[in-house]
Amino acid sequence: MKIRKPDSKGNMIVGTTAILIAAVVLMCIVTMTSLNYIQNHNIESQSNDNFKYIIDDYSSNLEILGRESIADVTQKVYNGLPVRDSESDIKKKLTDKLESKNDDFKEKYDVDLSSEVLSVETTDSPWVILFKVRLDGVKDNERFSQVIERNASVEGLRDPLPIAKLTIASGIMAYDDKIHYKTALSAYMLLHNFDSPESYLEATAPMTIKKCPYDPYVHHGDPGVLEDCLDTGYFHESADGSCYLCRLEGKGKCPHYGFEVFIQTHTPLGNESLSCSDHVVFADHYNGQKINPDDWDSLILDSSHRKKYGLSDYGNETY
């Protein structure tokens, strides 16, 4: 019996069928792989969205808790305790607050969080402090790790410099939203042999940090502006003034961009004495004169500060 060999037509049919079967199998594999990828991608996207929401919520809390931590260290100053390292003290306060917040987030989002305060920093703006925190979390077997950065404003907080510098033992007092130097500043000036310390008897200064809206500052020479500034108690940006972190440590001057405030005298004396910007009184120590010799409440300013605030001709005109 002879075995018949497939002819060329049969070979073609078999080959075509095999190709079709392989193509169908390949399409099934691609389809299943695509469906699996889409499913995993959707899970990943949903997971990322959940993490993003948690991180955003945490960031908002960091701003609040950071500000509260600064306020806590400021209160330490007002309680008469020295602050040697303001960044370290604020870190400790914030760490305690974040540990409590991590417990809250466990209940709220069923996520296990751990946090580390990396830094508390000054910025290009003296009105804010930058916080950096590393946040690690685990939720539903998914992990995330991110460094969160948030600014906290110091506006509305109390100025720690006068008390940190002179200490409450000096007799300095804080009430009615003002720093009342009483005899403390005059005694400080007398101790350091500065001119006319009696000019600063009963001097006062603003207590709460308020950013002056009269920018550029030369507008203080405009009618009524200086009077409003002093009545409201505004602070002003200054490359020579100390930042908030350094003010907590009692430093009248520092390498960071800071601010200054006027210490207002209340005296009939017209003697030359320290210029009344706080960084001058507590660090730079150069003299000025009353901008209006006939006014008991007149500021004592040097020529550079008069120019900065548009007060070079102040008192020579009637407003």
What are the tens digits of pLDDT across the range 110-160? 999 999 999 999 999 999 999 999 999 998 888 889 999 999 999 999 999
State which of 99, 121, 153 marks the end of a domain: 153
Are 112 and 146 members of one domain? yes
Average pLDDT of every residue of the chain: 88
CB atoms closer than 10 angstroms to residue 144: 18
Residue 42 lies in a domain: no
DSSP string, 254-314: -SS-EEE-B-B---S----EE-SBHHIIIII--EEEESSTT-TT--EE-HHHHHHTT-TTT
> For residue 55, what pLDDT is reported?
87
Long-range contacts of residues 282-285, Cβ cutoff 8 Å, at least 24 apart:
282/161, 282/165, 282/252, 282/253, 283/242, 283/251, 283/252, 283/253, 284/240, 284/252, 284/253, 285/192, 285/194
Domain count, the chain: 2
Are 68 and 171 members of one domain? no
Strands 273-274 and 236-238: unpaired
CB atoms closer than 10 angstroms to residue 85: 12
> For residue 46, what pLDDT is reported?
41
Measured CA to CA, the distance from residue 133 to residue 115 in angstroms comes to 7
Measured CA to CA, the distance from residue 131 to residue 110 in angstroms comes to 25
- Residue written as tokens 């110091």? 154
Residue 246 is part of which domain span?
Answer: 161-308
Are 202 and 238 members of one domain? yes
Residue 296 lies in a domain: yes
Residue 10 lies in a domain: no
Are 60 and 107 members of one domain? yes
Residue 273 lies in a domain: yes
Phi, psi of 238 (to 5 degrees): -160, 130
Each residue of 291-300: pLDDT tens digit?
999 999 999 9
Phi, psi of 113 (to 5 degrees): -115, 145
Measured CA to CA, the distance from residue 76 to residue 53 in angstroms comes to 35
Sites in the chain below the pLDDT cut of 70: 1-50, 315-319
Are 251 and 190 members of one domain? yes
Are 212 and 287 members of one domain? yes
Residue 315 lies in a domain: no
Phi, psi of 72 (to 5 degrees): -65, -40
Q: Could you tell me if 233 and 207 are in contact, meaning their C-beta atoms sit under 8 angstroms apart?
A: yes
Phi-psi group of 208: left, alpha or beta (phi > 0 → left; psi -120 to 50 → alpha; rest → beta): beta
Are 143 and 234 members of one domain? no
Indicate the burial class of 237 (C-beta count within 10 angstroms; 0-12, 13-18, 19 or more).
middle
Residue 317 lies in a domain: no
Integer CA distances (angstroms), 36 to 30, 272, 306, in order: 10, 83, 73
Are 165 and 196 members of one domain? yes
Residue 3 lies in a domain: no
Each residue of 27-59: pLDDT tens digit?
655 555 544 443 333 334 344 666 788 889 999
Are 168 and 282 members of one domain? yes
- Helical H runs in the chain? 8-78, 86-109, 161-166, 184-191, 225-232, 244-248, 278-279, 303-308
Measured CA to CA, the distance from residue 239 to residue 302 in angstroms comes to 16
pTM score, whole prediction: 0.83
CB atoms closer than 10 angstroms to residue 22: 10
Are 187 and 264 members of one domain? yes
State which of 108, 134, 153 marks the end of a domain: 153
> For residue 71, what pLDDT is reported?
98
Are 183 and 248 members of one domain? yes
Sheet holding 287-290, edge to edge: 273-274, 287-290, 300-301
Are 132 and 166 members of one domain? no
State which of 92, 123, 153 marks the end of a domain: 153
CB atoms closer than 10 angstroms to residue 256: 18
Residue 34 lies in a domain: no
